[in-house]
Amino acid sequence: MQKALITGGAGFVGSHLAEALLAQGTAVEIIDDLSTGSIDNIAHLKNDPKFSYVLDTAMNRPVMLELIDRADVVFHLAAAVGVQLIVDEPVRTIETNIKISELVLELAARKKKPVLLVSTSEVYGKLDRQKFNEEDDLVLGATSRSRWCYAASKIIDEFLARAYFVEKKLPTVVVRLFNTIGPRQTGQYGMVVPRFVRQALAARRASR
């Protein structure tokens, strides 16, 4: 049976990915420090014998070494997320995104464990087009504005993934997510869609 490791697996996207992989018959192990994820997101998965979890930071090198060694494939989702968090804590944003990705890729490369790295539409920066292309030149805002540190850190993550593929022959895939929407998403860290939904429901109740 194939086993997948998901970093950030107790988050909104990570928990849905865990569900999908389990439904396909893949064993799933996640690691999450619950800084932006929630144990409630994975509570319904705990009774599945193919599922296991570790509550720790993905920057814990000994733990990650063991987890990646047990996995056949790594889905790397652990990252600083949410506009408000990024603006308020740029140091945490940069260190979390770059250091964890560097560690995941380094350890995965030792035994050629394939890595899917989740990036973001933010890397497109200020491009103003109807269609984006992965080969487009990128234009970001000034370094004096904290919001761009997230895009910059994810660009570094993508460069690292490609560098490990070219230099170390590590199988890597980069996925750039745009606004993801669905159950278990929270507006706690500045995600706009959950806020819009709550405001719309509140307005509807008030109008009755």
DSSP string, the chain: --EEEEETTTSHHHHHHHHHHHHTT-EEEEEE--SSS-GGGTGGGTT-TTEEEEES-TT-HHHHHHHHHH-SEEEE------HHHHHH-HHHHHHHHHHHHHHHHHHHHHTT--EEEEEEGGGGBT---SS--TTS--B---TTSTTHHHHHHHHHHHHHHHHHHHHH---EEEEEE-----TT---TTS-HHHHHHHHHHHHHHHH-
Going by the DSSP 8-state scheme, the letter that residue 78 receives in this structure is -
Going by the DSSP 8-state scheme, the letter that residue 36 receives in this structure is S
- Reading phi first (left if > 0) and then psi (alpha if -120 to 50, else beta), residue 184 is in left
Residues noted as catalytic: 150
